[in-house]
Amino acid sequence: MHPVTIKPGQFVYLRVRGRDFHLSDKFQTHPFMITWWDLKESTPRLQGVSGSKGPSITILIQPANGLTRRISNTEFLQSVSFEGPRGRSLPLEEYENVALVAKGIGLAGILSYAKHIIDLKYDPKRKSEVLTRKLDLYWELDDNSQEDWGGHFLKELQSRTKTVRPR
């Protein structure tokens, strides 16, 4: 594994191979937002997402048609690789008040910013880099089943600080 630096708002191009995939899938890459990451070897991955330890990135995929539908059936996956991270990060930690707003799968695009600000704010060595005093995250669900996958991330954010209040 190569060293990777991930910043909030970045994405990866995902390439997958699997049984019963179309020939064209082997030549396609699709961009997906990096929702969560943990690059420390000794840190457990997010509860409910994976039980093992080690470096990880998490992307959320909403199955639609074509490749995303086939990816969601993990029993057919043979290998997954990614290129990246790509994209620019907005320096939201430079603002006193930050409001992050998402609907449905859009949560994938804002969680990394919330995680980044909270991680910086509660890191004794880096907290001086953060001007943010108030961070609000608003998420409208398309349907109640989204709370099953999104709730894990929100609970993890809450556990990182006592100032994050659910509404």
Confidence (pLDDT) at 149: 86
Q: Tens digit of pLDDT for each residue in 53-102?
A: 557 888 888 888 777 777 777 676 677 788 889 999 999 999 999 999 99
Query: SS3 for 97?
Result: strand
Strands (E), the chain: 11-18, 30-33, 36-38, 56-58, 77-86, 97-103, 134-140
The predicted structure's pLDDT at residue 164: 47
pLDDT band at 139 (very low <50, low <70, confident <90, very high): very high
The pLDDT mean for the chain works out to 81
Cis ω before 44 (30° cut-off from 0): no
Using the predicted structure, report yes or no on whether residue 50 has a pLDDT greater than 50: no
Q: What is the pLDDT of residue 109?
A: 93
3-state secondary structure of 96: coil
Mean pLDDT of 127-148: 92
pLDDT of residue 72: 74
Closest to 160 (Cα-Cα) out of 43, 8, 51, 3: 43
What confidence tens digit (pLDDT) does each residue in 95-133 have? 999 999 999 999 999 999 999 999 999 888 998 999 999
